[in-house]
Structure 1
Amino acid sequence: MSLSASDQYAFELIKQCKPQWSGLCKVSDVIGERQLLLHAGPPFSSTDLIPTPIMNSLVIGAVWEGWAMDYAQARQMILAKEISVASAQDHDIVVPLAGVVSPSMTLMIIQNANQPAKRKYSVLNEGMVHCTRLGKLDETLLGHLSWLNGELACWLTTRLVQPIDLLPVINAALADGDDCHGRTIVSSALLHQRLADMSKESIPTEINDFLQQSLAFALNVWMAACCLMMSAAEGVVGSSLVTKAAGNGIEFGIQLAAAPGKWVTTAAPAINGAIDPSHQGRTALGALGDSAVVDFMGLGGQVLNTAHASREALGNYLPGNALQRPIMALAAALPGFEQRLAVTCARNVVASGAGPLTLLGMIEDKGEAGRIGGGVADAPVSLFERALQEAGL
């Protein structure tokens, strides 16, 4: 599809963005020293609406920060608004699934090499076992968060002696079968190797083991990189390119370039996928997490033509036109993605009648079992229609 002049201009700005992992900082360096916790997705209109998995992670964050003595007190403080809660993307930060961001945590800085002042941030990936993104009251998480934001963060800070250009890593991972969202095995290994190559000193055993076992370590990096690239279009008058996308389990929202800061939301679409046999009978929250930015940028569900393992794992849960979605929803070919189509264009979605597919983990809604499966979410075209209307396009 041909782009409007405004969408073409916005896309050219995105083309000029060269994301790189340049360092680390504290969350408080970005949001200040205050009792504020951040979550994925658009903001909740009331704390009463926060689903149990996200609330579980919020109270873990509050106790870890020392603001509350136990989970019960933390929950009461959040409901009473003694501890504030807000959308992570509204503070230039991304967090996966039901995860939490708190002031003492460490952030990875992803900046535009061509405009270093332009930055987005992501929390460190927590690994594959003890993770706030799973939304469970895991007692071992308090110690793990201290190690993650202490020993690991300190080592990464000293090891990352020069920025890592991220587009070459993404391209290499795509060429080897990653989709950079549901499957990040290759890209996580590549980032591990980049860190290893920065010094002749060996990596401490505990850290090396963690990085080797963290098959999704790269996901948080790709989330911030995609968020950064999409944000380059913010403020372009008349542009319908999507600059933010995320779910909070209750609602799913997007923002358009022409209306920065304005979330347009719909009920969080169900995730269509297989529930693991050990969790049969359980149900999942709707679309959840800031990782939707990866798919809306053009990775994840939009690269299933080469991510064969991801496509096979999803099997019959994919719509019949899954491999055509990039043509139907995305703006144009992006050199940084080896000329693959990239960036969701709301005008294209409405004209074609189909949006980008988003690959997501399924988080059990009671906050007891964590991840119970994985699948694909499909935001309704009506969301894009309303976003265009509310932006006056």
Structure 2
Amino acid sequence: MSLLSGPPRVITVGAELLGEALDAQAVPRTAVAWRPPLPGTAGALTRVLLDPRRAAANERAVRRLTAARPHLAGVRRAAEALDLPPRTFLHAGPPITWDRASGPMRGALIGATLLEGWAADEREANDLLADGRIALEPCHHHRAVGPMAGVVSPSMWMFEVRDEEHGGAAYCSLNEGLGKVLRYGAYGPEVLDRLRWMDAVLGPALAAALRVSGPIDLGALIAQALQMGDELHNRNRAATSLLLRELAPALVEAAPGTAAEVLRFAGGNDHFFLNAAMAAAKAGTDAARDIPGSSLVVAMARNGTDFGVQVSGLGSQWFTGPAGVPDGLYLGAYGPADANPDIGDSTITETAGLGGFAMAAAPAIVRFVGGEVGDAVAATRSMYEITLAEHPAYQIPGLGFRGTPVGIDVTLVARTGVLPVVNTGIAGRVAGTGQVGAGLVSPPAEAFTKALAALTKRAAIQ
């Protein structure tokens, strides 16, 4: 009877209509941020949560991810580093065929065919790709990642990142700079000339410099850059400066004839560090792979048509849904009608607790992707709801040096209905258009519900 003898204590859950009515009457209340689970997942959630392996498996997976110590160990040609099969290109995202490839992906593949000298002109390149005479495989299947279209051909140079804790390695192509570039589907003479210069000058100079300097601790640079206003996906200004400070003396010593040219190129591109950060993130998430019973997401990637995820306890299987068009700011006269659906492997940064998950560390990012500073902070805070840990090394000053949210759990995504936040560049739908904007995008929920269903089947046979 005490309920009726004192003032009411009100808890509101779900729709805010009742809460707002109570606020209007000055009734104190406690609001609970509750959301229903993703549609159709209740039964699967129960079975996966009851899997006796899950808690220990996830603890092990996230511990391996956060314990990784990525070091930039070298720069090597893809043909040497990745053991590519003959006549094979790598691309961003889950597997895709030429007939389903978007404009930027097709443009990048045509450009790579011309770069390798496998075709004399655009028409011949198109025919080779359409007929399947050039094989296409995801970067992720070769311990690699690629930004935007992410196309890797044998002659391209790759950052080689070694995980000093677990012994693994991951690779990412070198950043071409801004403007008309292969990763956005451009393949004109200026694009191919730049790639040839990267092959003849940039790659060899960086390789020589790293032989002089020795491995560079990327984890330490990332941790420092987060405290200098970067989030390591779409803002890499501080990290690029830190990397060039490490490389400059060795470049001058190892390649005196081209050092100034290389430093001028890298210093004029604030995203130069992004590709190294992607390889570092890939090295960490790969360390968490193949742990039976784990519901930890180890890859998120897009190919311009599909958005796919991979889960630690489910091997190399992809779970996909349609890639969405980012919501954000557009350059010049461009608008949503000019945008290609989301594309690129750079979501490996979010998978490792950076990028959209670390936006609270980079308030200036809102000038690039849209919104207010408070939106960036709110985005990071919401990611703690779907992750298993806080990164011990990657910390956010504005949140009291709280570690970035890391370790996306499929079950938490399903239970809360909260989808990972991704900030990204927006590629033009037409090959060669280049970047038309930047913004935020959410993965398709069905990629996670499909992964949850597969976890249910694995749990049932244990």
Q: TM-score range by the shorter chain?
A: over 0.9
- Relative distance call for 1:255 and 1:17 in structure 2 (3 A) is same
1:186 is matched with 238
Unpaired runs of 5+ residues, structure 2, are 1-48, 396-402
2:129 is matched with 78
1:330 is matched with 387
In terms of mean alpha carbon deviation, does 365-374 or 212-221 score higher? 365-374
Amino acid at match of 1:156: L
Residue 18 (1) aligns with residue 69 (2): yes
1:146 is matched with 196
Cα distance in 2, alignment partners of residues 323 and 164 from structure 1: 28
- Relative distance call for 1:197 and 1:381 in structure 2 (3 A) is same
Cα distance in 2, alignment partners of residues 63 and 323 from structure 1: 42
1:220 is matched with 275
Contact 2:388 2:407 in 1 (8 A): yes
Cα distance in 2, alignment partners of residues 390 and 262 from structure 1: 10
Q: Deviations over 1:163-190 (max 9, x none)?
A: 0011110011100100100111111111
Deviation at 1:315, TM superposition (A): 3.4
Unpaired runs of 5+ residues, structure 1, are none
Cα distance in 2, alignment partners of residues 308 and 146 from structure 1: 37
Q: Secondary structure at the match of 2:448?
A: helix
Deviation at 1:312, TM superposition (A): 4.3
User: Whose Rg is larger?
Assistant: 2
Amino acid at match of 1:183: R
- Relative distance call for 1:13 and 1:280 in structure 2 (3 A) is closer
Residue 264 (1) aligns with residue 341 (2): no
Given candidates 121, 127, 130, the residue that maps to 2:171 is 121
- CA-based RMSD: 2.0
Amino acid at match of 2:204: C
TM-score between the two structures when normalised by the length of structure 1: 0.94
1:87 is matched with 138
Deviation at 1:260, TM superposition (A): 1.5
Contact 1:325 1:355 in 2 (8 A): no
Aligned residues: 390
Contact 2:180 2:186 in 1 (8 A): no
Given candidates 208, 213, 228, the residue that maps to 1:176 is 228
Deviation at 1:31, TM superposition (A): 2.7
1:386 is matched with 450
Contact 2:360 2:376 in 1 (8 A): no
1:62 is matched with 113
Amino acid at match of 2:181: C
Q: Deviations over 1:132-183 (max 9, x none)?
A: 1111232211111111122111111110130001111001110010010011
2:103 is matched with 52
Contact 2:180 2:434 in 1 (8 A): no
1:205 is matched with 260
Q: Secondary structure at the match of 1:110?
A: strand
Deviation at 1:319, TM superposition (A): 9.2
Contact 1:20 1:111 in 2 (8 A): yes
In terms of mean alpha carbon deviation, does 379-388 or 250-259 score higher? 379-388
Cα distance in 2, alignment partners of residues 360 and 4 from structure 1: 32
Amino acid at match of 1:149: D
Residue 305 (1) aligns with residue 360 (2): yes
In terms of mean alpha carbon deviation, does 232-241 or 327-336 score higher? 327-336
Trace 1:99-114 onto structure 2 (pairs within 5 A): 99-114=150-165
Cα distance in 1, alignment partners of residues 359 and 259 from structure 2: 36
Deviation at 1:386, TM superposition (A): 1.6
Cα distance in 2, alignment partners of residues 222 and 355 from structure 1: 23
1:167 is matched with 219
TM-score between the two structures when normalised by the length of structure 2: 0.80
Q: Secondary structure at the match of 2:89?
A: strand
Trace 1:314-325 onto structure 2 (pairs within 5 A): 314-316=369-371, 321-325=378-382
Q: Deviations over 1:38-67 (max 9, x none)?
A: 1110011x3211112111111111111111
Residue 287 (1) aligns with residue 338 (2): no
Where does structure 1 differ by over 4 angstroms across 4 or more consecutive aligned residues?
Answer: 317-321
Contact 2:229 2:363 in 1 (8 A): yes
Contact 1:272 1:376 in 2 (8 A): yes
Amino acid at match of 2:145: V
Deviation at 1:204, TM superposition (A): 2.4
Contact 2:179 2:435 in 1 (8 A): no
